[in-house]
Structure formats: structure tokens, C-alpha cells
Amino acid sequence: MTDAKDNAPEVFADLFGAEFRTILSIFHEGVIVADAGGTILYYNDAQGRIDDLPPREAIGRKIVDVYDLSEAQSTTMRCLHSGEPVVNQPIFYRTRLGRFANVVSNVYPIRRDGRLVGAVSFTKDYQMVEKIVSPPSTGRTPKTPGNGTRYAFGDIVGSSPGLLAAVKTAQLAAGSPSPVMIFGETGTGKEIIAQSIHNYGPGRRQRFIPINCAAIPENLLEAILFGTTRGAFTGAEDRPGLFEEAASGTIFLDEINAMSPSLQAKLLRVIQEKRIRRIGALAETPVDVKVISSLNEDPYRAVERRTLRQDLFYRLGVVVIAMPPLRERRGDLPALACRFVGRCNQAMKKAVADVSEEVMRLFQGYHWPGNVRELAHVIEGAMNLVGPGEAFIDTAHLPPHLRKPDGVQLQGPPASAPPTICPAAPEAGSPAPGAAPEHAPVENLVQARDMVEAAAIRRALLASGGNVARAARVLGLLSPQSLHYKLKKYGLNRKDFILSSDINKKN
Ligand SMILES: Nc1ncnc2c1ncn2[C@@H]1O[C@H](COP(=O)(O)OP(=O)(O)OP(=O)(O)O)[C@@H](O)[C@H]1O
Ligand SMILES: [Mg+2]
């Protein structure tokens, strides 16, 4: 850190003691302190990283010179002239290395004995917005390469009535241009459903653009959604917003109830008129996007609490999908646990069969506040602790809070199926082996027999590492051909059962 102590005039040393300066120096936000004339007295390392400028090259210079701005354009100078704070100002500019900086600035006046002696500016770097907006990087194969998704309906596990109703509504809604609103607690699968809708609809080849409305300050969110024109505000460039970028694709407005009411009103206008006007522009551009929104509470309650405008709810909630919490669909626990064990088998090159019956009993009694995401994390944590000779996840592998029943009264015996070997999960996006039976409620004996047969085949394939001839022998079949026929029948692919370690050995 370049310490301003040596360079700064006395007013700075007076205002900020050494301890305070140490705090500012380790701040994640950029901090600039200027005197009443706009000369930089202090400039921390974080600001240097945002601006691509070493602090020593900024300290002692006029702020308008460093940023090449007029006094009217500079937020610090505006604060110094008015004596009032200038808050939440989005600023886009190019650094001296030509990088695009995307920041929000808050500037506050500093007074001493009632006299204005300077201003302090805090700058938050929203380069990370690019990360929030762009598809999560997982190293997995996207469903439709480049469209920004990882999931499709085939990746959704569970057959409880609540989940099946959500999937069915989502599939119907995918074919129409109507907006869809998904609500549910954290980790219930709102995003997986949103991506699946996109991948099932006519716009699947276009982009799926998620934007987390809770993570971005209002001014910046408006600029990101609707775009800007050069000169609309300090440093604004001609930039299309996400509504334009998603052309014919899907925009996923995650946590819509975190959006301010005024921005919700602007959004309503765009959705009603299907036209967008970039900030500072006169002309309007037609937009054609599927809008999926999500919120973590019942939208009717959000309307009551005034976190969601009623008029916007009517527009966005043409189709409403409720994601039930995991504690209300405990019957899905065995299938979900099996899927996550399978996925970990693949990632960790292990061959764990399943969770033990005792673990499933504990799972059935737990209230799962983090829902499916929490289950996935619990299983991943446990899989790390399963030793080489162990075939099941046992209570000893669970975190302490899960080892004791948490008081939920179970009705009847746990919905645990007899343990089966959980196959390594396929790449997300490809049809899951046996996915169809998971969604299909058992209606008759034929279906029940098929499910048992498919499970036995999956076990044999996993045990044989995907070798069809060996699996056929284990299953007591006369020829590998008859197993090939059954693989086709159940949509199973032997390659999904080859552990990655075996693939490596073969290559
Ligand atoms: N039915 C399901 N089958 C398989 N995986 C699921 C299912 N539901 C959720 N998941 C997995 O659980 C995790 C959380 O799901 P997702 O991100 O869709 O939840 P969310 O409702 O958007 O949560 P949040 O409100 O916290 O953003 C993801 O890894 C997702 O793949
Ligand atoms: Mg989400």
C-alpha cells in the first residue's frame, strides 16, 4: 500500500489517524480522499486496481486531471461544490490500459468545525456484474453450447406430486411466449426450472441471460437491463442492455422482489409495450424476449408487503410455478440422494453405492432449510469422508447437526428404497439414465417391474464399469444382445457407467 501519510497535507493527517488509514488501505472498495479544491490526498490500492493506476501516480494530482473529466462530470467535484453527498452513481469509463471499468461511486463531504474541507469517495467495482450476468462456469457441457444454460428437464430429479406439477406447468409454459414467475425457498430449484423452460422452448438456440436483481444497485441495474447511450451520465457509453442482448432468448430476473418499485414500474412499461429505450436515448427498439422471474416468497405475499408491484405481478405472473420445499416432498430424498452420490462418484472417482438406511432415516427427519442445494452439499461433504473400503455414506460421515433427528415427526416408515448403487451421473444436460421412471408415478405392475429391472441393470453396469458382456453375465442373461435391447428400452447408455478413472486408463 502506498501510504498517503508522507505526501498528504496536514488536513488529511488530522482527519484520518494512522489506524483509520490502515483500515482504508485494506478496504475492498476503492477509496479516494480529496481536499476542498479537488486534489487527491489519499487513494487506496483497491482504487488503483479499478483504475489500473498505481496510487503514487494519483496522489497530489487534481481528481479531474486523473480521470480527464470536467468539474460537472466529476462526482467528487459535484459533492465539493454542493456540500451534499452524491450517492449510487454508476460510472462507466475506460482505464488508462483501455479496460472497461464499471463502478458505482458514493461521495460524502468532510466537514471540520462546520467548514467543508474535502470529500471522500467510495467506489464499488461492478466488473463482477459481468460474472453475475454471464453463465456460471462449471466446466460442464452446456445443454445447447453457448446458450448460457446447464440444465434441462431431464436433469430434474423427483416424482413427488408437487414437483411433477411444477415440471408439467413449466413444460407447458415453455412453448408459449407468456412470462413465467417461479417462487420457492432458497435451493428448491428455481433456476434449474428456469433453464429447463428455456431449453424446451422455441428460443432455446438463443441466449439465457440470468440477472440477480438483489446483487446490483438500482441505477446500475437499470443501465444493465435497458442499456445506455453515450453521455447519458458520466462516462456512459453506447451499450445495449440485456433486454436487447437476449434477443429472442430468455431473460431470467432472479429475486425480482429486490428490485425497487420505480424500476419495477419501468420494467412493466417495457414488458407491456415490448419496446425498450436505452437510458438517455430518444428512439425505442422493439424487444422480443421470454421473461422468467423468480422470488423467494409467495408473490401474493410479496404484493401485500409491497416488495412486488401488483401491476407487475399481473404482467410477469401470467404463469406462476411454485417450487415446494424439500421438507414437503421427502419422498424425493432417495432419488435426489442417489443422483448426488452418483455425481460425486464421477467427480471423486469413487464407487459409493448409496446412503445407508440409517442416514436416509435421518434425512427424512431433517427440515432442510437450504432444500436441495443443502442436500447436495451434505452429500458432497460426506463423500469426501467415505474411505476406500466403505460402500455407503454412514452417519459418521454426516455433519453433527444431521446426526441427530431434529424432532420432525415422521408419518409411517421412511420413504427409503432398498439401497441401490447410484450410477455416476451423466453430464448435466444429457438425458439421465433412468430419468423417465423417476418422473413417472408407478401406475401398474408393468411399470413397477420395469423400474426394478432398470435399477438392476444400472447396478450391474456400474459394477462392471460399463462392460455389457460382463453385466449380462451378472444379470443371468444368455447373451449381451438381450442386454443391449434392454439398454435401448430404458434409455441407458453403457458409457455413462464408465468411471472417469477407467476412461483415463483407456486413453
Ligand atoms: N429437482 C432437482 N433435481 C436435481 N437437482 C436439483 C433439483 N432441485 C435443485 N437441484 C440442484 O440444487 C441446487 C440449487 O438449485 P437452484 O439453484 O435451481 O435453486 P434456487 O431455487 O434458484 O435457489 P436460490 O433461491 O438460492 O437461488 C442446484 O445445484 C440444482 O442443480
Ligand atoms: Mg437461484
Which cell numbers in the block locate residue 253? Answer: 430476473
Range of the domain at 194: 130-324
Q: Show Cβ contacts of residue 87 under 8 Å, excluding neighbours closer than 6 positions.
A: 106, 107
In this prediction, residue 17 has a pLDDT band, given cuts at 50, 70 and 90, of: low
Domain presence at residue 4: no
Highest mean pLDDT among 19-23, 379-383, 499-503: 379-383
304 and 200 co-located in one domain: yes
Q: Ligand 1 pocket, 335 CB below 6 A? A: no
Question: CA torsion sign, 77 to 78 to 80 to 81?
Answer: positive
Q: Are residues 253 and 371 in the same domain?
A: no
- Report CA(359)–ligand 1 centroid distance (Å): 22
Quick check: 277 pLDDT over 70? yes
pLDDT given at position 371: 96
433 lies in a domain? yes
* Measured distance CA(224)–CA(360) in Å, rounded: 45
Q: Would 5 be classed as within a structural domain?
A: no
* Number of Cβ atoms within 10 Å of the Cβ of 327: 16
* Average pLDDT, integer, range 86-113: 80
Give residue 433's pLDDT: 34
| Closest-CA residue to 155 (of 360, 344, 345, 434) | 434
Nearest protein CA to atom 28 of ligand 1, as residue:
373
Distance 254 CA to ligand 2 centre (A): 7
User: Rounded mean pLDDT of 125-143?
Assistant: 46
Distance 191 CA to ligand 2 centre (A): 5
- The answer to whether 30 and 103 are in contact (CB under 8 A) is yes
What is the full DSSP assignment across 86-105? EEEEEEEEE-TTSPEEEEEE
Same domain (yes/no): 140, 90: no
353 vs 493, which has greater pLDDT? 353
Domain count, the chain: 3
Measured in Å, residue 220 CA sits from the centre of ligand 1 at 27
Q: How does DSSP assign 360-393, residue by residue?
A: HHHHHH---TTHHHHHHHHHHHHHHH--TT--EE
Co-location of 137 and 89 in the same domain? no
Work out the pLDDT band at 319, boundaries 50, 70, 90.
Answer: very high
Residue 102 shares a structural domain with residue 176 = no
Would 179 be classed as within a structural domain?
A: yes
Ligand 2 center–CA 247 separation, angstroms:
22
Say what the pLDDT of residue 218 is: 82
Pocket test for ligand 1, best of 373, 377, 427 (most atoms within 8 A of CB): 373
Does residue 39 fall inside a structural domain?
Answer: yes
Distance 481 CA to ligand 1 centre (A): 38
| DSSP string of 452-488, one letter each residue | HHHHHHHHHHHHTTT-HHHHHHHTT-S-HHHHHHHHH
Whether residue 160 is found in the same domain as residue 110: no
Cβ of residue 377 lying under 6 Å from some atom of ligand 1: no
Give the pLDDT score at 12: 63
Q: Which of 136-150, 293-307, 434-448 has the lowest mean pLDDT?
A: 434-448
Same domain, 313 and 363: no
Same domain, 276 and 301: yes
Would you state the pLDDT for residue 69? 82
435 lines ligand 1 (CB under 6 A): no
pLDDT class of 463 with cuts at 50, 70, 90: confident
Which of 125, 151, 178 corresponds to the end of one domain?
125
| Same-domain pairing of 116 and 134 | no
Is residue 140 located within the same domain as residue 277? yes
pLDDT of residue 351: 86
pTM check: above 0.85 = no
Checking if the pLDDT of 2 tops 60, the result is no
Residue 430 confidence class, pLDDT cut points 50, 70, 90: very low
Question: How do 208-212 and 250-254 pair as beta strands?
Answer: parallel
Protein residue whose Cα sits closest to atom 16 of ligand 1: 189
Give per-residue pLDDT as tens, 368-390. Answer: 999 999 999 999 999 999 988 88
What percent of the chain has pLDDT above 90? 47
CATH number for position 490: 1.10.8.60
Question: Does ligand 1 lie within 6 Å of residue 210's CB atom?
Answer: no
Q: Which tens digit of pLDDT belongs to each residue from 330-367?
A: 999 999 999 999 899 989 988 888 899 999 999 999 99
How far apart, in whole angstroms, are the C-alpha atoms of residue 26 and residue 157?
45
171 and 319 belong to one structural domain: yes
Say if 87 falls within a structural domain. yes
CATH classification of the domain holding 106: 3.30.450.20
Question: Could you report how far apart the first and last alpha carbons of the chain are, in Å?
Answer: 50
Judgement on whether residues 251 and 170 belong to the same structural domain of the protein: yes
Task: Output 20 or 67, whichever has higher pLDDT.
Answer: 67
Asked which of 88-102, 230-244, 262-276, 419-433 is least confident by mean pLDDT, the reply is: 419-433
Q: Which of 198, 219, 266, 275 lies closest to 243, judged by CA?
A: 275
Ligand 1 neighbour 156 (Cβ under 6 A): yes
> What is the CATH number for 282?
3.40.50.300
Q: pLDDT category, 234, cuts 50, 70, 90?
A: low
Substitution site in 185, 191, 208 for ligand 1 pocket (most atoms within 8 Å of beta carbon): 191
Q: How far is the CA of 335 from the centre of ligand 2 (A)?
A: 21
Binned at pLDDT 50, 70 and 90, residue 26 comes out as: confident
Least confident of 84-98, 162-176, 285-299: 84-98
Contacts of residue 99, defined as CB under 8 A and 6 or more positions apart, other chains included, come to: 52
Residues with CB under 5 A from ligand 2 (ion): 191
Whether 1 is in a domain gets the answer: no
Query: Which residue has the least CA distance to atom 7 on ligand 1?
Result: 189
Indicate the residue among 324, 341, 356 that finishes a domain.
324
**Which of 93, 125, 157 delimits the end of a domain?**
125
CA–CA separation, 291 vs 251, rounded Å? 5
The pLDDT mean for the chain works out to: 81
The CB of 191 under 6 Å from ligand 1? The reply is yes
Q: Give the pLDDT band (50/70/90) at residue 406.
A: low
**What's the distance, CA 233 to chain centroid?**
30
Is 244 a domain residue?
Answer: yes
